[in-house]
Amino acid sequence: MLRYLPFLLVLALWIYAFIDCLNTPEDEVRNLPKMAWVLIILLFGEVLLGPVAWLIAGRPRAARRPAAGGGRWVAPDDNPEFLRSLKRDEDEGPQR
């Protein structure tokens, strides 16, 4: 079983890079068009060149990648809009 570990690690990295590339929006991909990155990952996946190149040169930087919903994620207790909605709900009383 231990002799299969390197193969499984390469396969896991290849799958991760491929799915990550497919899920990244076209306008966030760096240095090459998205389709070029997909081909590089597919063609050079077994020697790790493609997936490593994607992670280093093609993947968007984490700090610039917006969270789902289009902005910076804010905890509910730090979100003024959420706190205002709680206050409105409290002022309106129980709804039946």
pLDDT (tens digit per residue) in 3-40: 889 889 889 999 999 999 999 888 888 889 999 999 99
The answer to whether the beta carbons of residues 53 and 21 sit under 8 Å apart is no
Taking the C-alpha atoms of residue 32 and residue 9, their distance in angstroms, rounded to an integer, is: 26
Domain that holds residue 68: 2-92
How high is the pLDDT of residue 69?
53
Amino acid (1-letter code) at residue 61 = R
pLDDT tens per residue across span 31-75: 899 999 999 999 987 788 889 888 888 888 765 445 555 566 777
Please count the other Cβ atoms lying within 10 Å of the Cβ belonging to residue 15.
13
What's the whole-model pTM score? 0.59
Check: CB of residue 50 under 8 Å from CB of residue 17.
yes
Confidence band of 81 (pLDDT split at 50, 70, 90): confident
pLDDT the model gives residue 61:
73
- Total domains in the chain come to 1
